Amino acid sequence: MSHRIYHPPRIGNQTPQEIFQESYGSNFTFIRKRYPSGVTTTSNIAIFADGACTDNGKPSARAGMGVYFGPGSRYNFHQALNRGRPTNQRAEIRAAMLALHKVRELIENGELRGDTKTVVLVLDSAYVVNAMTDWVTKWKGNGWRDVNGRVVANKGDFQELDTLIDELESDDRVYVKLWHVDRTHNTGADQEARKAIGWSYGGSSQHVLTMYCNSDSDSDY
């Protein structure tokens, strides 16, 4: 699944701020591309997604997802994770799913440009990006079991996300690429995710939330 990995063009330091063009009033963030003649802004778009949780792993846990299309975009939104166990890992996976479901909705409503052929899903979760670009191939070949023979953690969520990516590409001819970035480049989606669980952005709340979220352990792949 390496074809799902986004490889940013050689523009500046290859940060999202340099690769993407925020277009105020268009509701989208467009992707720039380097050609021999220079740099051009394409009709392809970037969407940022993030999950958040508080009291991760405890009965009092709450989780939510945020999706960010760009500054002031009417498509920015957040949603609480009310289905299944609320954990940070599940919130991260389902945030990616929410973003792609929104893409499908925009296509169906004619709100996405017809010449948009690629969507870059920007995540600060190495767990989700690695799963969808590498581990998923091994999981499928092993009956959705990890290297130790155990059922893959969050199997149902990953199966849904994998199917959604495939359907967007086969049915809608929109190709999905995933890009793992540092969380400092994903603040828009992070703010949306925090809204979903009633947390404000910054200050001591930011520290506590991050501490809980990072307590989620990774399984063997």
- Block mean pLDDT (10 aa), the chain, length 221: 93 95 90 94 98 89 96 96 92 98 96 94 98 97 95 98 97 96 97 88 38 39 64
Domain membership of residue 220 (yes or no) is no
Task: Quote the pLDDT of residue 58.
Answer: 85
Domain membership of residue 221 (yes or no) is no
> What distance in Å separates the CA atoms of residue 125 and residue 182, rounded to the nearest whole number?
9
Domain membership of residue 93 (yes or no) is yes
CATH number, domain with residue 208: 3.30.420.10
DSSP string, 41-55: EEEEEEEEEEEEEES
What is the rounded radius of gyration, in angstroms, for the C-alpha atoms of the chain?
17
Domain membership of residue 109 (yes or no) is yes
Hey, is 15 helix, strand or coil?
coil
Domain membership of residue 190 (yes or no) is yes
Q: DSSP assignment, residue 185?
A: G
Helices marked H in the chain — which ranges? 16-19, 88-108, 126-130, 136-141, 155-171, 187-196, 203-213
Residue 24 belongs to what domain range? 2-213
Hey, is 133 helix, strand or coil?
helix
Helix orientation angle between 88-108 and 187-196, rounded to the nearest 10 degrees? 100
Total domains present in the chain: 1
Domain membership of residue 152 (yes or no) is yes
Q: Which amino acid is at 50?
A: D
> What distance in Å separates the CA atoms of residue 54 and residue 197, rounded to the nearest whole number?
8
Specify which residues 23 forms β-bridges with. Answer: 28
Domain membership of residue 139 (yes or no) is yes
Domain membership of residue 157 (yes or no) is yes
Task: Quote the pLDDT of residue 59.
Answer: 86
For the CA atoms of 11, 17, 23, 28, the dihedral, rounded to the nearest 10 degrees, stands at 100
* Residue 53 vs residues 62, 97, 208: alpha-carbon distances, Å: 5, 17, 10
